[in-house]
Amino acid sequence: MAAPTTNKKLIAWVDEVVKLCKPDNVYWCDGSQAEYQRLCDEMVKGGTFLPLNEKTRPGCYLARSHKSDVARVEDRTYIASAREEDAGPSNKWAEPVELKKKLTGFFAGCMAGRTLYVIPFSMGPLNSPIAKIGIELTDSPYVVVNMRIMTRMGAEVLKKLGDGAFVPCLHSIGAPLKPGQKDVPWPCEPDPERKYIAHFPDDPAIWSYGSGYGGNALLGKKCLALRIASVLAQKEGWMAEHMVILSLTSPAGKTHYITAAFPSACGKTNLAMMLPTLPGWTVKCLGDDIAWLRIGNDGRLYAMNVETGFFGVAPGTSNQSNPNAMTTITKNTIFTNVALTKDGDVWWENIGYDAPSTLIDWQGKEWKAGPDQKEKAAHPNARFTAPAAQCPVIDPEWQNPDGVPISAMLFGGRRPGTIPLINEALSWEHGVFMGSSAGSETTAAALGQAGVLRRDPFAMLPFCGYNMADYFAHWLSFAEKTDRRKLPKIFFVNWFRKDESGKFLWPGYGDNSRVLKWVCERVEGTGAAVSTPIGNLPTENGLDISGLKIDKSDISKLLAVDIAGWKQEAASIEEHYKQFGNRLPAGLRKELEALKKRLGA
């Protein structure tokens, strides 16, 4: 197939990769519906895809991955910057020349018997001034169809690219076929030590080998739109963040745009498309995972979702936790590692109704419901890939090439004790301090560490492509980049506060709209707040709890300032900061000292 581009760099790079990886064919993706359908049909024939019930799940497929290839592999993810100190303490570093040499050995001949797909894609709308074009070369048709849902992809992107620059993203599942060798449904490199998700921020370039799953393989997402983009953003004066974007509209019709960054398992997607319980209030979704932000001409901070789909966690998604996600995934959705019912539908743990008596589990084995069943039917990291446009509450501005002006930013975590339900930062710098110390207590006993606090600054721990101390400094610098009064207000939320008996104090889900209402009131200068040593908190009657059955004493506990607990928290933050040594910005040290002083510590 002749290259449908005149971009010399691109043609030369594809030629080079073809010589190295030795695919049987090269195919340039045009991004059309016909191409998508053809690849899905081929994967059905090859056993990678199973079509679901056309009546109940039209246009939907189920894929089951190899059992060794079920999630992002953080311990195989590298930031190969020229200098180790530029990767910082939160990243695994590798010397770039050596890593390229090693991986070149892995890529040699790795696409034999397969087709190399050329995927031109854009992170951000094509007409956006801050969109970035990437080209992913992959030997996985599963990656192609997922990329078509998750990004703007195909001929339009090549046209836009012209002779311009792109981020080269090389991907192989690492499973060459010998002549006549039969393929398997999910080919990949089974040896965990031979999987590599490598980032070369100085080029920039991405090389991913051995995995076909999610963030390891859909290289526009975590690799380009967060790790590489965070490096570009620092150089160019913008932000690449692990954030949802939502709009909240009051009964009077006033809309505020809000971003939120939470570590995993804190209900980010649920928040992004929440159904508010407060009458007359509406939430609309602009994005559920990644936001790029920059200062607009009016001095405000604007956020843009750079993706076009949701790659959401299926287990736990239900009509109670996220009815809008459930509607989104009724059609044209790829399910990976969920369970299959005998009538061709999907099922997963906590979908909101009992499992039928028998299922086919995520590994393709028969699964029987019952008290003796110890195995999960769906993998805990089972996913749906669904077009964002199918979300019933997608915001009309979600593809605005300039993004939307942000009124408030939320950070949060799963914190059973000490941290109140909502806390407003005293300044931009105090808000950056809150983001830098965000974290969650682990829940899964399976991790062997339930109840351990893991700091996950800005929910970017696995995604910041450079030294996190420099990233903190970059955040602080925004107070000098614009009139600070135009910056969003920053808040810390904790939906997961528990009482002494271990019961959650706050109902969460749609009732989080009550907290968001207070956030908007604070932005507008009307919300009632008390000034405390840790920040501004709602007064006893500050939150709208009309129609909510909750004890007044629980509200008091949710909004209490536990000075002794906070002294320990400050000491723990001090410990967390030590890893950054003297690269930690003075502005954050100052915030920590100011907090200790206010606490009397």
The least distance separating Mn ion from the CB of residue 307, rounded to whole angstroms, comes to: 10
The least distance separating Mn ion from the CB of residue 459, rounded to whole angstroms, comes to: 8
User: 3-state DSSP call for residue 419?
Assistant: coil
Beta strands in 519-589 (DSSP E): 529-532, 535-538
The least distance separating ligand O2Y from the CB of residue 312, rounded to whole angstroms, comes to: 7
Q: Is residue 395 within the footprint of Mn ion (CB under 5 A)? A: no
- The residue nearest Mn ion at its CB is 289
Residue range at the interface with Mn ion (CB under 5 A); choices 78-86, 286-294, 323-331, 503-511: 286-294
The least distance separating ligand O2Y from the CB of residue 459, rounded to whole angstroms, comes to: 8
Of 543, 517, 508, 516, the residue nearest 529 (C-alpha): 543
Closer to ligand O2Y by CB, 209 or 577: give it. 209
Q: Is residue 146 within the footprint of ligand O2Y (CB under 6 A)? A: no
Closer to ligand O2Y by CB, 5 or 442: give it. 442
Closer to Mn ion by CB, 210 or 215: give it. 215
Residue range at the interface with ligand O2Y (CB under 6 A); choices 33-41, 158-166, 210-218, 490-498: 210-218
Closer to ligand O2Y by CB, 216 or 322: give it. 216
Residue range at the interface with ligand O2Y (CB under 6 A); choices 36-44, 61-69, 189-197, 213-221: 213-221
The least distance separating ligand O2Y from the CB of residue 533, rounded to whole angstroms, comes to: 33
Q: Are strands 167-172 and 132-138 parallel, antiparallel or unpaired?
A: parallel
Q: How far apart are CA 120 and CA 94, in angstroms?
A: 28
DSSP 220-286: IIIIIIIIIHHHHHHHHT-EEE--EEEEEE-TT--EEEEEEE--TTS-HHHHHT---SSTT-EEEEE
Q: How far apart are CA 200 and CA 94, in angstroms?
A: 10
Output the CA–CA distances (angstroms, integers) from residue 186 to 24, 140, 173, 285, in the order listed.
Answer: 19, 9, 9, 33
Footprint on residues 473-532 left by Mn ion (CB under 5 A): none
Cα 379–chain centre separation: 19
Active-site choice (29, 169, 266, 285): 266
Q: How far apart are CA 227 and CA 207, in angstroms?
A: 13
Binder among 264, 277, 330, 482 for ligand O2Y (CB under 6 A)? 264
Q: Is residue 215 within the footprint of ligand O2Y (CB under 6 A)? A: yes
Residue range at the interface with ligand O2Y (CB under 6 A); choices 211-219, 385-393, 473-481, 515-523: 211-219
Footprint on residues 195-224 left by Mn ion (CB under 5 A): none
Beta strands in 110-250 (DSSP E): 115-123, 132-138, 152-153, 167-172, 196-200, 205-209, 239-241, 244-249
Q: What are 455's two structure tokens?
A: 């700091």
Closer to ligand O2Y by CB, 100 or 222: give it. 222
Cα end-to-end distance, the chain, whole Å: 69
Footprint on residues 445-504 left by ligand O2Y (CB under 6 A): none
Binder among 124, 214, 287, 387 for ligand O2Y (CB under 6 A)? 214
Q: Is residue 196 within the footprint of ligand O2Y (CB under 6 A)? A: no
Q: Tell me how many residues contact ligand O2Y (CB under 6 A).
A: 10
- The answer to whether 188 is a known catalytic residue is no
Binder among 64, 66, 72, 171 for ligand O2Y (CB under 6 A)? 72
Partner from Mn ion, ligand O2Y, none binding residue 577, C-beta < 5-8 Å depending on class: none
Dihedrals phi, psi of 423, to nearest 5 degrees: -150, 125
If residue 570 lies in a helix (H) or strand (E), which one and from where to where?
Answer: helix 563-578
Q: Is residue 289 within the footprint of ligand O2Y (CB under 6 A)? A: yes
- The residue nearest ligand O2Y at its CB is 214
Of 312, 326, 311, 334, the residue nearest 61 (C-alpha): 334
Partner from ligand O2Y, Mn ion, none binding residue 256, C-beta < 5-8 Å depending on class: none
The least distance separating ligand O2Y from the CB of residue 301, rounded to whole angstroms, comes to: 22
Residue range at the interface with ligand O2Y (CB under 6 A); choices 34-42, 125-133, 214-222, 300-308: 214-222
Q: Is residue 381 within the footprint of ligand O2Y (CB under 6 A)? A: yes
Closer to Mn ion by CB, 57 or 455: give it. 455
Q: Is residue 289 within the footprint of Mn ion (CB under 5 A)? A: yes
CA dihedral 143, 348, 259, 87 (to 10 degrees): -50
DSSP 462-499: TT--S-HHHHHHHHHHHHHHS-GGGSPEEEEE-TT-B-
CA 479, 483, 484 angle in degrees (round to 5)?
45
Q: Are strands 244-249 and 282-287 parallel, antiparallel or unpaired?
A: antiparallel
Residues composing the chain: 601
Question: What would the x/- binding string for ligand O2Y be over residues 295 to 334, using CB under 6 A?
Answer: ----------------x-----------------------
Closer to Mn ion by CB, 139 or 289: give it. 289
Q: Is residue 379 within the footprint of ligand O2Y (CB under 6 A)? A: no
- Identity at 27, one-letter amino acid code: Y
The Cβ-side half-sphere exposure at 255, using a 13 Å CA radius, reads 14
Closer to ligand O2Y by CB, 413 or 420: give it. 413
Q: Counting Cβ atoms within 10 Å, is residue 299 exposed (0-12), middle (13-18) or buried (19+)?
A: middle
Q: What are 549's two structure tokens?
A: 């059955």
The least distance separating ligand O2Y from the CB of residue 214, rounded to whole angstroms, comes to: 2
Task: Please enumerate in sequence order all residues whose Cβ is within 8 A of that of 449, keeping only pairs 6 or more positions apart, or say none.
Answer: 442
The least distance separating Mn ion from the CB of residue 242, rounded to whole angstroms, comes to: 6
Output the CA–CA distances (angstroms, integers) from residue 379 to 336, 362, 384, in the order listed.
Answer: 9, 6, 12
Q: Is residue 591 within the footprint of Mn ion (CB under 5 A)? A: no
Beta bridge partners of 122: 133, 152
Return the biggest CA–CA distance within the chain: 74
Residue range at the interface with Mn ion (CB under 5 A); choices 108-116, 149-157, 287-295, 301-309: 287-295
Partner from Mn ion, ligand O2Y, none binding residue 214, C-beta < 5-8 Å depending on class: ligand O2Y
Interface with ligand O2Y by CB under 6 A: which residues?
Answer: 71-72, 213-216, 264, 289, 311, 381
Q: Annotated active-site positions, please?
A: 266
Interface with Mn ion by CB under 5 A: which residues?
Answer: 289
